[in-house]
Chains A and B, each alone.
Chain A
């Protein structure tokens, strides 16, 4: 380290405008004085360097740092803008990713509360932005999906339920049935009704309360 102002001290040449005689008389003195000045400058520089080194050696930087109010210092610094302005974040991120291995990533992921994040997501808005129909048509093997669904469905049972629900046999009878079949149906139903009427009348006459007409009933034989 140089002492401020000392660098200005140089050997001073004798100006040419000075008369030769004067120059010849003053030159030795001037040169001698300037030489002493230069030596003195170098000496002062050296002494300053020595003093600084000694000061640095003697100062307890740890104690000095401990006495510092780091928080106050940090409060006075806009670290965010400083980092944004002065740090190449792309490089930093690349370095970070280069140093992080898969297990560390998995550890980090395990610590993240995915449910909480998912709970804050606006799923409806996300879905509104997506053309799900197009995605399904492009990316889903619909044939396999349909085959898998059909494999789990008892189509015969469903078909029977549908046929029962719409009463397909009745529709077929109505569309293809003849007057004869309708007449037979009517005669049969009237016969059943007459059977029941006769049975009820006989039961009343015999004061009988129960009649077993189902095939599971007792034979009584």
Chain B
């Protein structure tokens, strides 16, 4: 029923979404799209880390060109850097638009309590949970309502949302708010 109402609401204005994709808008995303989005985000994080490392290399080369060697970063430092970059990256983009680059490509959006966009604190906590335990995503197909472990813990959800702007994400979903933990 809510799908029909959402489809009608989408039809009352000009929708940039292709006709065949409209019925899925607002539905909770499944494992495959979320995994693909996570992989894309991982690539972005890897690119950021690589850029940071190359920047560091360039800085070292500029400072000690004669004795230049590639800096060897420890495993702990690398993991810490990756952790920090991932958390910052996820937190910032989930706070700003509810979607990272991977989510943007796959047409997904993270919604918080009551269907609203995640606030900074919620985004930070979810980013920490996702980075610490990315395996939580495998619970998505096992869950009856496509929720990962992080979603179950925080009351968040990931939905299909091809809208360029976060109009849908800002609209509260009153009928669901009671069940969320946030």
Which residues on A are within 8 Å of B, measured CB to CB?
Answer: 160, 163-164, 167-170, 173, 184-185, 187-189, 191-192, 194-196, 198-199, 201-202, 206, 208, 210-221
In the complex, A191→B26 CA distance in Å? 15
The distance from the CB of A107 to the nearest CB of chain B, in whole angstroms, is 58
A171→B176 CA distance, assembly (Å): 36
Whether A213 contacts B28 in the complex (CB less than 8 A), given A192-B33, A219-B176, comes out as yes
What number of A-B contacts does a CB cutoff of 8 Å give?
Answer: 125
Beta-carbon contact of A220 and B31 below 8 Å: no
Q: B180 at the A/B interface (Cβ < 8 Å)?
A: yes
A202 to chain B minimum Cβ distance, whole angstroms, is 4
Contacts of B14 in A (CB 8 A): 160, 163-164, 168-169
Contacting residues, chain B, for A208 (C-beta < 8 A): 144
Set B20, B36, B145, B151: member contacting A213, Cβ < 8 A: B145
Q: Is there contact, CB below 8 Å, between A215 and B16?
A: no
- List, in ascending order, chain B residues with CB within 8 A of A187's CB: 36, 105-106
Partner of B160, one of A184, A192, A198, A220: A192
Chain A CB within 8 A of B32 CB: yes
Residues of chain B contacted by A213 (CB below 8 angstroms): 27-28, 30, 145-146
* B10 shortest CB reach to chain A, Å: 10
B30→A194 contact, CB < 8 A? yes
How far does the alpha carbon of A188 sit from the alpha carbon of B99 in the complex, in Å?
A: 15
**Which of A188, A206, A214, A219 interacts with B155 by CB under 8 Å?**
A219
- CB neighbours of B20 from chain A (8 A): 189
